[in-house]
Amino acid sequence: MPVKKTSPTKAASKKVVTTKVAAKKVAPKKAAKKAPQSLPYEEGKWGEWFVRDKGERRYWLVKSEAESFSFDDLLASKNKTTYWDGVRNSAARNFLRDGMKKGDLAFFYHSMADPSAVAGICEVVREGYPDESAFDKSHEYYDAESVRETPTWFMVDVRAVEKFKREVTLTEIKANPALAEMKLLKISRLAVVPVRKSEWDIIIKMSEKK
DNA sequence: GCCAACGTTGGC
DNA sequence: GCCAACGTTGGC
């Protein structure tokens, strides 16, 4: 499910909403069919990660196999922006669809790499919208279950903000007791996981340290 | 609705 | 290649 840029699906949208008006809240969809699980989420499970104060910025970590799509590839993309398609896990989907908001920041993590590590920072520039690759029969990520009226899979657009001077490896993260509760470590197989502000700050510091 | 079997991710 | 930690599926 790591993002693999193999398809000519629509390039990242460069549309920038300039209006100051708060983004429209996702309208409660009438149960036309059966939309995938959505807000509100269960307390104690993932629920807390979807709640935020007004104007609060939240933090995430998104994974990509370095071989398929690295942070350098993101930097080389048009507007340093790409769409994060191909996620086919419901928990990760929920973060993409309902959790990540414009202006949120995310670590760009190289998985299945040597070493696996956080490579840089990106920003959410477009909030969750249907993952086109799921509708495309010829696409590697095609999913017959996902239909346009009630899409199963979603993606966001992210733009590169900064490449770390120094990667922060998974080994280092594991070695830091202050990071022991990171979702990255707790649930390794999720392609998108939330990050606490305190964890974010620590990793930023680690990336600056020689 | 329960739960065992199976599939997937990703670290090691 | 192995294993842990899930999510999904399907029999009942």
How far CA A27 is from CA of A31, A38, A131, in Å, comes to 12, 11, 19
Residue A29 CA and nucleotide C11 C1' are separated, in Å, by 34
Residue A45 CA and nucleotide C6 C1' are separated, in Å, by 14
Beta strand pairing call for A105-111 and A59-65: parallel
Query: What is the predicted pLDDT for the residue at A48?
Result: 82
pTM attached to this predicted model: 0.81
Residue A74 CA and nucleotide C10 C1' are separated, in Å, by 41
Query: What is the predicted pLDDT for the residue at A192?
Result: 93
Query: What is the predicted pLDDT for the residue at A116?
Result: 93
Identify whether A115 is preceded by a cis peptide bond (ω within 30 of 0).
yes
Q: Which nucleotides of strand C come closer than 7 angstroms to any CB of the protein?
A: 4-8
Residue A31 CA and nucleotide C8 C1' are separated, in Å, by 23
Q: Which of residues 57-76 of A touch strand B (CB under 7 A)?
A: 63, 65
Query: What is the predicted pLDDT for the residue at A34?
Result: 43
Residue A133 CA and nucleotide B9 C1' are separated, in Å, by 20
Query: What is the predicted pLDDT for the residue at A203?
Result: 96
Residue A22 CA and nucleotide B8 C1' are separated, in Å, by 38
Strand B–CB A112 distance below 7 A? yes
Nearest nucleotide relative to A190: CA against C1': B9
Nearest nucleotide relative to A93: CA against C1': C7
- Walk along chain A (210 residues) and give the pLDDT tens digit of each residue: 344 433 333 333 322 222 333 333 333 333 333 445 666 666 656 788 888 899 999 999 999 998 889 999 999 999 999 998 888 888 899 999 999 999 999 999 999 898 999 999 999 999 999 988 888 777 777 877 788 888 889 999 999 999 999 999 999 999 999 999 899 998 888 999 999 999 999 999 999 987
Residue A78 CB neighbours (<10 A):
9
Q: Which nucleotides of strand B come closer than 7 angstroms to any CB of the protein?
A: 8-12
